[in-house]
Amino acid sequence: MLLRELLGLAALFFGVTFSVIGVVGMLRLPDVYTRLHASGKVSTLGLWGILLGAALLLEGAFPRALALAVFLVLVQPIASHAIAAAARCSGVPMALSFRDDMPPLETPSATPEQP
Amino acid sequence: MGRATYVLATAAVLSAIWMGLTARVDAASFLVGFVVSALILSLIGTRERATAQLSRLPRQLFNLIVYIVLSFIAITRASFDVARRVLDPKLPLKPGIVAVPTQDEEQDEIIAALSAHAITITPGQLAVGFDGAKTMYIHCLDIESVATAEQEQAARLKRLRAILGKA
């Protein structure tokens, strides 16, 4: 019982640390695209940690935590991509760019292929 | 696999997920999930017929499990990689958008979408746009890291085709 609580607290601590790192990334990184890396990736692991902690500390929370973890990893890349595509379509420039292979939109009426 | 079998099999999987979400594991909960999913599935038309065959199923499942384990490792590595860059006082970034071909002859949209999903969870890469199902435009935190992107994409394509039962 004690071991389970210790593991749960460790997982919570890990998750919260990663969420904080995600926020630091949001503040430090220069533009939309790089910030999406911080908000998306780092917070995925952070939320996994918090969910694992919840599953260990709360009775009967395991199935729900597992379902949420799976749902998160399925949906989070889609959200990141949607924001990046929207930013690109409305012409948000990269603050720092060493290479850009993507052609700019020729016609103003062009719609994004992927919603 | 007929359409009815497809609907019933998918409904069974969906009702298992439903039981997980509601955290209620009993017959009534399963029945509610099953009936509602079967109803909705029979209303939604599938775009193409299901390609599943019973003899291929073990190999597909094996590939799916390998894929899930690899994805888990990729997510963990991605998070640590981004965290390291963010916490570094010098903020080591070399961002850019790179074109990566999907290398799929059939140009299947599902394969393109799954590839983009996989790329977005691998270290330091984020799918921004598509050119049909032919090319993906990927934003990278460090454009040096995409030197191997085409080989990775070839391996990923092979694995995804194996999961979908096309190879």
Residue-level pLDDT at B152: 77
Q: Number of A to B CB contacts under 8 A, please give it.
A: 125
Kindly list the domain boundaries of chain A, sorted by start residue.
2-89
Residue B154 predicted with pLDDT over 60? yes
pLDDT tens per residue across span B31-74: 888 898 888 888 876 655 555 566 777 888 888 888 888 888 88
Confidence of residue A11 (pLDDT cuts 50, 70, 90): very high
Secondary structure of residue A63 in the 3-state scheme: helix
Confidence of residue A53 (pLDDT cuts 50, 70, 90): very high
Whole-angstrom Cα distance, residue A29 to residue B108? 35
Residues of A in contact with B64 (CB under 8 A): none
Task: Select the residue of A37, A97, A114 nearest B141 (Cβ to Cβ).
Answer: A37
Per-residue pLDDT averaged across A20-48, rounded?
84
Contact B146, B137 (CB under 8 A): no
B4's tokens: 């009815």
- Identify any residues that bridge with B101 across adjacent strands, giving them in sequence order: B135
Confidence of residue A9 (pLDDT cuts 50, 70, 90): very high
Task: Select the residue of A42, A61, A102 nearest B97 (Cβ to Cβ).
Answer: A102
Kindly list the domain boundaries of chain B, sorted by start residue.
3-43, 57-163
Residue B112 CB partners (closer than 8 Å, separation 6+): B102, B104, B130, B133, B136
Q: How far is A54 from chain B (nearest CA, A)?
A: 14
Q: How far is A114 from chain B (nearest CA, A)?
A: 7
Whole-angstrom Cα distance, residue A33 to residue B139? 7
A99 and B97 within 8 Å at the Cβ level: the answer is yes
Interface test with B, best of A102, A111, A113 (most B CBs within 10 A): A102
Residue B13 predicted with pLDDT over 80? yes
> What number is the ipTM of this complex?
0.73
Query: In sequence order, what E strands does B1-144 have?
Result: 96-101, 125-131, 135-140
